[in-house]
Structure 1
Amino acid sequence: MLLYWWPRCSTCREARQALHERGVRPEERDYFARPLTPEELRELAAAAGGVRLLVATGSPSFRRLGRSLEGLSDAELEAHVLAEPRLLRRPLLRTSDGRVLVGARAIREGAP
């Protein structure tokens, strides 16, 4: 398992703690310190059900784009997420069976 997180994010820290309390200690990747590659983002998006499900549409970074989710192609969304990691919903957990759980609630409820 691999936890994609940002240590400065309280939601990420809470999800990580919830995993640890259940004895689950995934590998961890601070994707601000070590950004995703285009290939990694595409793989995560495919496993999660599409890049649109990975975009934090309520974030100030998304609002600054001045566009709606529907007004952007998947390729444009990928480019924006790669340029601005704050657009990526967090945390993400890639499970050992290849699923990608998006957000703290999904991780708390769906992680092994």
Structure 2
Amino acid sequence: MSVVIYHNPRCSKSRQTLELLRNKGVKPEIREYLKSPPSVSELEEVLGLLGIEPLDLMRRKEAAFKDLGLGDGSKDRAMLLQAMHETPVLIERPIVLANGKAAIGRPPEDVLKVL
């Protein structure tokens, strides 16, 4: 089984999720998305797997969210996706992809449903 985690090593929830996966015997591909941001098409795929809209995948308390005016309703889907690609700190984390499914690890145990 191929498992990918969009991981931020500075985030406690991301570290907890990675530890949980490893404790279950899973050796995920670790994608440090801040260093290697997902493309717009990868973000579209993740949104489809999660069944959510771009704003639902964004960290709304990040300064960049406010600075870019992303919550004012004036940005279309393409603009929101581009913002996440260009400013990956906006992406909620961690995200685990496995078995054609995706889950956000908040709480970390939520990712177990995709294994």
TM-score where L is the length of structure 1 = 0.84
Segments of structure 1 that go 5 or more residues without pairing to the other structure are none
Give, in angstroms, the shift of residue 14 of structure 1: 1.5
How well do the aligned residues superpose, as a CA RMSD in angstroms?
1.8
| Matched position secondary structure for 1:28 | strand
Give distance in 1, aligned partners of 2:5 and 2:111.
Answer: 13
SS in 1 for 2:9: coil
Against the structure 1 CA distance between its residues 94 and 73, is the aligned structure 2 distance closer, same or farther, given a 3 Å change threshold?
Answer: same
Higher helix share: 1
Runs of 4+ in 1 over 3 A off after TM superposition: none
Give the number of aligned pairs: 110
1:26-71 residue CA offsets vs partner (Å, 9 max, x unmatched): 2111112222112111111111113232111122221222341633
TM-score after normalising by structure 2: 0.82
Q: Deviations over 1:7-36 (max 9, x none)?
A: 222221111112212222221111122221
**Secondary structure in 2 aligned to 1:52?**
helix
